Structures are given as C-alpha cells and as structure tokens.
Amino acid sequence: MDFNVKKLAADAGTFLSRAVQFTEEKLGQAEKTELDAHLENLLSKAECTKLWTERILKQTEVLLQPNPNARIEEFVYEKLDRKAPSRMNNPELLGQYMIDAGNEFGPGTAYGNALIKCGETQKRIGTADRELIQTSAINFLTPLRNFIEGDYKTIAKERKLLQNKRLDLDAAKTRLKKAKVAEARAASEQEVRITQSEFDRQAEITRLLLEGISSTHAHHLRCLNDFVEAQMTYYAQCYQYMLDLQKQLGSFPSTFLSNNNQSSSTPVPSVSAPSVLASASASLPSVSNSVVTSGFSELKSSSGNRKARVLYDYDAANSSELSLLADEVITVYSIPGMDSDWLMGERGNQKGKVPITYLELLN
C-alpha cells in the first residue's frame, strides 16, 4: 500500500515538473533541448506520411463506395467482426430494373429486348465492381489502414515518450542552474546525467522506428501498383462489356419520345454516343447519321423502290401503318408529301407506313 502511494506521488511530481517546464518553454522563460536535424526531418516525414495516407485512404473508400450510409454499415460490421449482409450495388440494381422493365414491355419488342441486353451488361459491370472493391480492399486499403492503426501509433507513442524524456532532461538542467548548495548541485548533476542517458536512448529508439518510414513508402508503392492494376482490369472489363453491348444493339435507335408536342407515332432517331476511348474510336461499330440516312434520302428523292431488312419488331399504331417482324425483308418506297421519318412498306398484298429507323436498306 505504501509502495503504491509513493509511486503515485512520484508520478504526480514528474507530471508537475514536466508541466512547469513545458509552460516556461512556451513563455520563453526556460531553455529547450533541440532535436538533431536528422531526427526532426524523420519526424516531419512520418507526420507527412500519416497525413496523406489518411487522406488517400479516406478518398479511396469514397471512390469505391460512394454511399456514406453503406460505408458506415461496413465499418460497424467490421468492428463487430461480422460479415455485412450482401446487397445489390448500383449497377446491379439498375440492371435488374432494366431486365424487369424489358420483360414487362415484352422481350419480343425492340425496346424490351434492348432493355434486357442493357440490364444484363449492367449486372456484369456490377460484378466487376464488386471484384474491384474486394481486390482494392485487400491489396491497397488494408495495408494503408494497418500503417495508420499500427505502425504510426507505435511511432506516436515513442515520440510522446521522447518528448517526456526531453522535458525531464530540461527540467533537470533548470534545477541544476538554480542549485546553490554543493550537495544540491551534485544531486542535480547526477539527475542530469541520468535524464540525458534516458533521453539519448529514447531518441535512438524513435530514430530507428522513423527510419522504417522509407520501407513503408516502398511497401505502399507496391500496394499502389496493385491498386492501379485492379482498376485497369476493372475498366478494361467495363469497356469490353459495353463494346459487346454496342455490337449487340448495332445501329439500334433510341425510340424514346420527346416531351414536346410531337406526334406520338413519330419515332425519334437517336444520337450516337461518343467513343469511350478516342484511340479506339475507329474500331467501334458506330455509324454516323449521315451514312445511315443517305440511302433513305436517295430513295425519297427517287420514284423507285428498294428492299429493306427489318431490324426490330414494330407494332402498327393504326391502320395506315404496317406491322413489322425482325429480320423479315420488305419492299419500301416513298410517296410525295410523306413525313421524312417514314416510308411506304409492302409485304405481299399488305402495305402501310413504316418507320425508317427500324429498317436497313439492302444493296
């Protein structure tokens, strides 16, 4: 019991001594032992590494999981050492909605079929997204987090201990200066030698730990390369998925109706999206509007007729139109005064207006 009381008293005395020394240093009333330039540089490098590692870690988490609520949920489950419930990510959810809508509108219709194809592609992108998150978490986020929560905490602990040893040393030096009696000076000199030795020892321990920051940078560089490779794989997969989708859709036009006062029976031709990569644009199966429409323009300006292949099913809106089936071949021609988006189509004894965006002229 007496031992514990004495220890507590000694600890309180040490704490008070450090507080007085620290306060006097701030007020300019006491001298301060400066760390050597190399150690100061190492401390600055460690602090800088910790600061930017935290920022990169946080922003990478935002990049991989933009939903803050989902990030909080994952954090809670991680702390509880439990697996978070599996949920659809955004691309998968969008893909499922597209597939459900396509089935509702009818897989045999042009729009329904295209929605299903797009939905399947979105779900594949969602799977790739999951793989990117998982790979990045293991190879990039975890090493960064281990540094913040492990190595740097050890450095911070030893740095704080070094600060305390320095305060003890400078407090001892201050007492030595104030000592007047020979016996008190001898005791103070002994205290300075002891605190100097402890300070030097702690400075060496801290220095060795800080010099490990260079190894940390080398390790994080390897992790960064792994992250870049994971991203490269992800974007290459997404690009290939979209390229395959574009090939499946071919020159499929957007038949969404505008919100203005257009007639509901007039299809709206689509505008091709720009290429994902400029360098790869030549390989993409995109066709400009001028090329697509040039054949129809020639047909409209002449009195002849042409054979055309039907690209997608089309249900006639009224008796003046002709219903179409995908892949059938019909005869088309123009008549004076006809709307620019339509031609007359014939199939045996049946004829009626057909939208040119559902047709491909044959040579």
Residue 60 CA to residue 302 CA, distance in Å, equals 61
With residue 343 as reference, give the H or E element that holds it: strand 342-347
66 with 159, same domain: the answer is yes
Whether residues 54 and 127 fall in one domain: yes
In a domain, 261, yes or no: no
Distance CA(218)–CA(222), nearest Å, equals: 7
Q: Does any domain span residue 173?
A: yes
Mind listing the pLDDT tens digit for each residue in 266-285? 444 443 434 433 443 444 34
Per-residue model confidence (pLDDT) at position 235 = 96
* Longest CA span, the chain: 128
pLDDT average, residue stretch 175-190: 85
pLDDT classification of 75: cutoffs 50, 70, 90 = low
With cut-offs at 50, 70 and 90, classify the pLDDT of residue 224: very high
Neighbours of 8 (CB within 10 A): 10
Co-location of 201 and 335 in the same domain: no
Task: Tell me which of 22-26, 34-38, 54-58 is least confident.
Answer: 22-26
Domain that holds residue 343: 294-361
pLDDT in tens, 309-353: 998 888 888 899 999 998 899 999 988 888 888 899 999 999 999
Residue 259 lies inside a defined structural domain of this protein = no
Concatenate the DSSP letters of all residues of 282-320 into one string.
Answer: GGS----HHHHHHHHHHHHHSS-EEEEEE-S-B--SSTT
Cα gap 95→55, rounded to integer Å: 33
Any idea what the CATH number is for the domain that residue 357 is in? 2.30.30.40
Convert the pLDDT of each residue in 112-131 to its tens digit.
Answer: 999 999 999 999 999 999 99
Q: Examine the domain organization and report whether 333 and 228 are in the same domain.
A: no
Q: Angle at the Cα of 291 (from 112 to 251), degrees rounded to 5?
A: 15
Same domain, 77 and 158: yes
pLDDT category at 66 given cuts 50, 70, 90 is confident
Q: Is residue 1 assigned to a domain?
A: no
Is residue 287 situated within a structural domain? no
Say if 279 falls within a structural domain.
Answer: no
- At 16 the pLDDT is 73
Query: Which of 215, 249, 283 is a domain's end point?
Result: 249
Residue 90 lies in a domain: yes
3-state secondary structure of 274: coil
Helix segments in the chain, DSSP class H: 2-26, 37-64, 68-79, 90-105, 110-136, 142-146, 152-178, 182-211, 213-249, 289-301
Core vs surface per residue 276-298: b (16+ CB within 10 A) or e = eeeeeeeebeeeeeeebeebbee
Q: What is the pTM of this model?
A: 0.61
Q: Which of 2-11, 188-197, 335-344 has the lowest mean pLDDT?
A: 2-11
| Domain shared by 299 and 237, yes or no | no
Amino acid identity, position 173: K
We report the CATH number of the domain holding residue 238 as 1.20.1270.60
Q: Contact at 8 Å (CB) between 155 and 128?
A: no
Q: Are residues 147 and 244 in the same domain?
A: yes
Query: Does 337 reside within a domain?
Result: yes
